[in-house]
Chain A
Amino acid sequence: MEIKKIIEYLNKEKEQNEITNWKIITITENNRNYYITKDYQIETELKTEKEEHIITIYKEQEETISETEFKINKNYTISQFINEYLSNKKQLLLTKTPIYKLPEKDEKTVNDNQIDYEKFYNREIFNEFEIYPFEKIIHGISKTLKEELNKKNKELETKKLQIYLNYYELFNTRKKITLQTSKGIKKEYKKTYHYFELAISAKKENKKDEKEHIIYEKINNINNYNFSELIKRNATYAADLYYAKQPEKYELPIILNDSATIDFFYSDIRYSPLITFTFAELEHYGITRYRIGKPITNSKYDKITLYSDPLLKDNIASKPFDELGITSQKICLIKDSIFNQYFASKKFADYIKVEPTGAFGTITLKNGNKTEDEIRNLNNEYIEIISFSWFDPEPTTGDFSSEIRLAYHIKDGKKTPFKGGLFTGNIFKILEKTYLSKEEIEVPYYKGPKILYFEEGKIIGLK
Chain B
Amino acid sequence: MELINDYEELKEQIHKQIKKTEKEIKKELQKKITEQEYQKFKNIIYTDLNIYEIYSKIHSQIQNETTNYKTSDFGIKIRVWDGKQYHETSFQELSINKIETELKKTHKIALKKLIHYINKKDKFYNEQFKNEPQKYYEIKNGITIFKNIDRLLETDFSKTIIELKRDKNENEEKTKRAIFGKLPQTIDEKEIFDIIKRYKNRLEKLDKKIITTSIKIVEKFERTIYISRDKIYEQRIPINYFICMIYVKKNETEKREIYKVLCDDELNKTIKKFEEKIPLIKKELKIIDKYKKIDGGRYDVIISPKISGLLAHESFGHGMEFDTIFRKRANVINWFGKQIAPPFINIIDFPLITETKNGSYYFDHEGNLSTKTYLVKNGQISTPLLDLFTRSILNYPKSCNSRYMSYDHKNYIRMSNTYFTTDKETTLDEMIKTINDGIYVFDTRGGGMEDPKGWGVQLQNCLGQRIKNGKLIDEYYENFTISGYLPEILGNIEKASNELKIEGVGMCGKGHKEWVRVSEGGPHLLIKKLILG
Contacts and interface: CB of A to CB of B under 8 A. Distances in A.
B453 A211 contact: yes
Contacts of A91: 68, 189
B327 A167 contact: yes
B86 A199 contact: no
Interface string A26-48: 00000101010111111111111
Centre residue among B75, B190, B297, B458 by max chain A CB count within 10 A = B458
B72 A70 contact: yes
A286 interface: yes
B484 A199 contact: no
A268 B156 CA distance: 35
Interface stretch (B9-17, B90-98, B339-347): B90-98
Interface in A146-191: 164, 166-167
Interface in A186-245: 195, 197, 199, 201, 208, 210-212, 214, 216
Contacts of A396: 247, 254-257
A308 to B, nearest CB: 22
A422 B92 contact: no
A46 B193 contact: no
A49 B90 contact: yes
B485 to A, nearest CB: 7
B158 A395 contact: no
A37 B327 contact: yes
Contacts of B460: 390, 392, 401-402
Contacts of B88: 44-47
Given A68-B69, A401-B480, A197 B453 contact: no
A421 interface: yes
B30 interface: no
Interface in B440-470: 445-449, 451, 453-454, 456-458, 460-461
A252 B504 CA distance: 37
Interface in B64-98: 64-75, 84-94
B70 A97 contact: no
B134 interface: no
B119 interface: no
A269 B327 contact: no
A354 interface: no
A5 interface: no
Centre residue among B75, B296, B480, B485 by max chain A CB count within 10 A = B296
A208 to B, nearest CB: 5
Contacts of B327: 37-38, 166-167, 199
Nearest to B479: A399
B156 A39 contact: yes
Given A197-B511, A460-B297, A74 B328 contact: no
Contact of A249 (B84, B296, B328): B296
Interface string A78-103: 00100000001011001111100000
A73 B409 CA distance: 17
A287 interface: yes
A422 B457 CA distance: 10
Nearest to B255: A396
Contacts of B202: none
A198 to B, nearest CB: 11
A419 interface: yes
B62 interface: yes
Nearest to A33: B410
Contact of B453 (A47, A72, A201): A201
A353 interface: no
Given A97-B65, A460-B483, A390 B93 contact: no
A88 B91 contact: no
Contacts of B254: 289, 396-397
A389 to B, nearest CB: 4
Given A49-B91, A96-B65, A392 B446 contact: yes
B151 interface: no
Contact of A286 (B69, B212, B297, B512): B212
Interface in B459-495: 460-461, 478-481, 483-485
A123 B154 CA distance: 43
B349 to A, nearest CB: 22
A166 B329 contact: yes
B206 interface: no
Given A50-B75, A73-B92, A91-B68, 5 more contacts: A41-B157, A73-B75, A94-B190, A97-B67, A286-B211
Interface of B: 4, 62-75, 84-94, 156-158, 189-190, 193, 211-212, 247, 253-257, 293, 296-297, 327-329, 334, 408-410, 445-449, 451, 453-454, 456-458, 460-461, 478-481, 483-485, 511-513, 531, 533
Rank and list the top 5 A-B pairs by shortest CB-CB distance, nearest first: A460-B533, A460-B296, A48-B408, A403-B458, A69-B69
Interface of A: 31, 33, 35, 37-51, 56, 67-75, 80, 88, 90-91, 94-98, 164, 166-167, 195, 197, 199, 201, 208, 210-212, 214, 216, 246, 249, 268-269, 285-287, 289, 389-390, 392, 394-397, 399-403, 405, 419-422, 424, 458, 460, 462
6 contacts: A39-B156, A45-B88, A214-B511, A285-B247, A399-B461, A460-B297
